[in-house]
Amino acid sequence: MVKVFISGYVQRIGFRQFIKSNADKLNIKGWVRNIPDSRVEAILQGRTQDIDKMILLCRKGPFLAEVRDIKIVELPDQQFHSFEIVK
């Protein structure tokens, strides 16, 4: 399980919905939210290869996104049952 911080032009362009849609397709659990410093933060739980695919998608983002950097932090496992957009 990882926590991902995505920086760049990533808020107000559908980035959270982009992540949720792809997480659902890849059977990834966790959550995503905008944070006050203009980054997007996400917790990703699932198979390693699916998380790797999700991170690659986060590096590109949806149309209009301009991803500058991604920081990845390994976390101890928790149990999530779905993927949610957190406000």
Q: What is the pLDDT of residues 54-66, one digit of tens each?
A: 999 999 999 999 9
Which single residue is written with the structure tokens 């059977």?
27
User: Which residue among the candidates 16, 27, 33, 39 is catalytic per the annotation?
Assistant: 16
- pLDDT for res 70: 98
Q: Which of 12, 27, 34, 39 is catalytic?
A: 34
**pLDDT for 87:** 87
Domains in the chain with CATH codes: 2-85 (3.30.70.100)
Tell me what the mean pLDDT of segment 29-46 comes to.
Answer: 98
Integer angstrom CA distances of residue 83 from 5, 20, 21, 54, 55: 16, 6, 9, 13, 15
pLDDT of residue 53 exceeding 90, the answer is: yes
Helix (H, G, I), strand (E, B) or coil at 75: coil
Residue 83 near residue 29, CB atoms below 8 Å:
yes
Q: Is 27 a catalytic residue?
A: no
14 CB neighbour count, 10 Å cutoff = 16
Mean pLDDT of the chain: 97
pTM of the predicted model, to two decimals?
Answer: 0.95
Q: Catalytic site residue 16?
A: yes
Tens-place pLDDT, residues 75-86: 998 999 999 999
Q: Max alpha carbon distance in the chain (Å)?
A: 33
